[in-house]
Amino acid sequence: MVYRAIGIMSGSSLDGLDIAFAEFHENAGKWTYELKSTACYPYDEEWTGRLKSATKLSAMDYLLLHADYGHYTGQKVNEFIEEHQLHYQVSLIASHGHTVFHVPAKKMTSQLGDGAAIAAETGLPVVTDLRAMDVALGGQGAPIVPIGEKILLKEHDYFLNLGGIANVSVKADPYIAFDICPANRVLNMLANDAGKNYDDGGAMAASGAVNTALLEELNRLDYYKQSYPKSLANDFGTDIVYPLIKNKAIEVKDALRTYVEHIVFQIQKAIPGLENFKPQTSNLKLLATGGGAFNTFLVERLRENLKEHSIEVVIPEANLVSYKEALIMAFIGVLRWRQEYNVLSSVTGSSRNSIGGALWTGQEA
């Protein structure tokens, strides 16, 4: 069977809307894929502001934003299809949406981007609300990407996503994955304080010095004492970590340097800590993707720290670095279409594996 699908991802770093068109082949239970077309549509100041302030809205205004963002997403998909000449080639769209509220302890998660609005704009079948079923079953609803890593990217032992939040997956039986710490979202906020959108290549961080007192305080935060499965909401970075750093009143370059060291420390602590789940090989490979994989200073520090554990950090080709999550959203949508499990309970802690996603039919009968 061949499936041609679009996956859409909006991460907590607020850099834009990632769209990927991929072709998936299934033969006797074995899957292969080809990433055909990709694009990132940066958010303008208005959309960045609306998404940042979504947590402060009334219920009515939040639902209006949910609808608006759905129509916006659908319009961007149409633009993507036009730009890449994909008319009559796309059979399905799967949209993660933009996470605003994530409180799995109370069985609630909410992503902006009304699926009905996307389907109405595109005239195509759309899968949304990918985390909701897992959360209803008592799971964290995150991470959900591991199903794609497990099936499509089997040659690696570990998977590290350096997005707005850093998370890790471990190829094991059962499969293990969890959120580690805030990453690009906090780094970008600190870079914004210096008038930059982001710290290009980690140059500012590389020129700074580690503030030991701040690093120790960051590493003492309660989340890092929790065992997996566990997941983070965006506000952990924006409302707890960032203010903690700002209260130290240190130079931006030193704050960036210290936070890079914090990210690396938490990753190192998380991965070697999974001794029982380490593959039985001395040649361990960690596939790093997400925007943070372009931060050469962060990757350099990560390689230095993981080398002592015989873990090689692998950075794939740029398209996979940037669009792995969008690619896997498309695959999750395909699995939903096939009525097959697309969320792993061993990762999220839910009562069972589940088939996540609401299906919206956009075409006329």
Residue 227 to residue 110: CA distance in whole angstroms: 24
For the chain, domain boundaries: 2-139+336-360, 147-320
- Region 132-144: what's the mean pLDDT? 95
Contact 363, 124 (CB under 8 A): yes
Question: How far is Cα 275 from Cα 146, in angstroms, rounded to an integer?
Answer: 19
Residue 46 phi/psi, 5-degree rounding, is -65, -50
In this predicted structure, what is the pLDDT of residue 322?
93
Phi, psi of 351 (to 5 degrees): -70, -20
Give dist(CA 14, CA 46) in Å, integer. Answer: 12
Q: What is the CATH number of domain 147-320?
A: 3.30.420.40
| pLDDT bucket at 92, cuts 50 / 70 / 90 | very high
Query: Which positions ≥6 away from 73 have C-beta within 8 Å?
Result: 8, 17, 95, 97, 113, 117, 118, 121
Alpha-carbon separation of residue 71 from 109, 112, 312, 351 (angstroms) = 21, 11, 42, 34
Which whole number is the average pLDDT over 254-272? 95
Q: How confident is the model at residue 210 (pLDDT cuts 50, 70, 90)?
A: very high
Q: What pLDDT, on a 0 to 100 scale, did the predictor assign at position 335? A: 98
| Residue 185 · residue 236 · CB < 8 Å | no
Would you state the pLDDT for residue 15?
A: 84
* pLDDT exceeds cutoff 90 at 139: yes
Dihedral, 179, 180, 186, 188 alpha carbons, nearest 10? -80
What pLDDT, on the 0 to 100 scale, is given for residue 317?
95
- Residues 271-306 have pLDDT tens digits of 876 656 655 556 789 999 999 999 999 999 999 999
**Contact in structure between 207 and 253 (CB atoms under 8 Å):** yes
Q: What rounded mean pLDDT belongs to the chain?
A: 94
Alpha-carbon distance of 111 to 129, in angstroms, equals 7
Any idea which architecture 2-139+336-360 has in CATH?
2-Layer Sandwich (3.30)
